[in-house]
Structure formats: C-alpha cells, structure tokens
Amino acid sequence: MVARDRFYLMTDALACYFLREKERGTGLGPVIATLEGDFDRHVPSLRAAALLKNDDVTMVSIQVL
C-alpha cells in the first residue's frame, strides 16, 4: 500500500458490472468517476439499460493518506 492508493468496496451487483466492463476493455477510471459524481442518477440508468442487476448496490471509496 502506498499513499494515495484507493480501494473500492462494492456489493456483488456492482462488482459484476465492473468486471464485465473490464473484460470488454472499458477503462474503469471514467466509470468510477461517473458513479462518484452522481451515484443516485447513474445506478438507475444502468439498471434501465440492463447493464446492472436490479439488486442492492453500494460502493465505498477508501483512499490511503
């Protein structure tokens, strides 16, 4: 662990979405930035597009200082 490292803890539905995006070659930086910017708006849009399972969704971001 190094200062400024960041960890993302998430429930299984969101983790599954991230893994699928990673497999598709999508850069996860923009995906994370979008969710951190407006989580409450983007989660329903991902569900509506059938990209995210309709299940509980939580994401916690932890940065090492």
The residue with tokens 């983790």 is 15
Confidence (pLDDT) at 18: 92
pTM of the model: 0.81
Are 46 and 17 spatial neighbours (Cβ–Cβ below 8 Å)?
A: yes
pLDDT digits (tens, 9 = 90+) for 8-51: 999 999 999 999 999 999 888 888 998 989 999 999 999 999 99
